[in-house]
Amino acid sequence: MITGASMGLGKEMAIECARRGRNLILVALPDQHLQQLCEELIQAHGIRAIARECDLTDEEELNQLAAEVLSHCSVDQLINNAGVGGTARFEESSTDYLDRIILLNIRATTILTRLLLPELKSHRKALVLNVASVAAFGPLPFKTIYPASKAFIYSFSRSLSKELRGTGVKVVVLTPGPILTNPDVVSRILKQGVLGRFGLLTACRISRLALDGAEKGREVIVPGLMNQINRFLTRWMPESWRLALMARVLRKEIAVPSR
């Protein structure tokens, strides 16, 4: 089961899973051509694929999704990819925008994992792969809530991994850097200059590194050498220096928030 599967990293995760022969339940917002993607994967790889349209920020829809899936399907892998972010001054951000980041990035991942956990534990081997970000490793001015939400995902994943040790359920956290996805995202990355492109990878490459890492038993996956260096620098650079540097970089990107 993959959330946020209609575009970007989620779509590439679906393609890579299908290429490896895995049957899929793909989840995304309505009107995202999700059924078309399922049909393409079925034809190309001979798998089974089901499309489920759902707004994961809606509590009722989230619960209905889990109940429907559990009543009809056997799920041994959950990829919590759905997420939203952007760059804007906090005081200029609408409360709806801020609330959506919290509901999607934090609550949806937490609740969906909890609802599917009994099913996952019923399998001899199962996987929860949560998509965080290198932003999880430090605060970012003009993104504020986004890195905080990804820090939550990182901490949640590492804690749950320890709790579930010995159950057969492996919990993995993926922390990608900037991702080449749609034109809007590429435009925002380019506005950041050289530092914004530091660690830039395609969604296809990240999906392969993530699934390879999970299969090898890694619990934390930082894809790409540059992002591994970024994590190291974040740990050792004085926070005041890093905040000043990132504020200068991200100030260039301030625009209407988007994925």
Report how far residue 257's alpha carbon sits from residue 97's, in angstroms, rounded to the nearest whole number.
8
Whether residue 182 has pLDDT greater than 80: no
Tell me the per-residue pLDDT of 53-95, one tens digit each, with 9 for 90 and over: 999 999 999 999 999 999 999 999 999 999 998 889 999 999 9
Domain ranges for the chain, please list them. 2-253
Q: Which of 146, 152, 156, 198 is catalytic?
A: 146
Residue 209 burial (CB count, 10 A):
19
Per DSSP, the three-state class of 219 is: coil
The whole-angstrom distance between residue 240's C-alpha and the CA centroid of its chain comes to: 28
Whether residue 164 has pLDDT greater than 60: yes
Tell me if residue 97 is catalytic.
no
CATH topology of domain 2-253: Rossmann fold (3.40.50)
Report how far residue 63's alpha carbon sits from residue 83's, in angstroms, rounded to the nearest whole number.
18
Are 171 and 157 in contact by the 8 Å Cβ rule? The answer is yes
Confidence tier at 153 by pLDDT (50, 70, 90): very high
Enter the pTM of the model: 0.86
Kindly calculate the radius of gyration of the chain based on its CA atoms and give it in whole angstroms.
18
The region of weakest confidence among 70-79, 184-193, 232-241 is 184-193
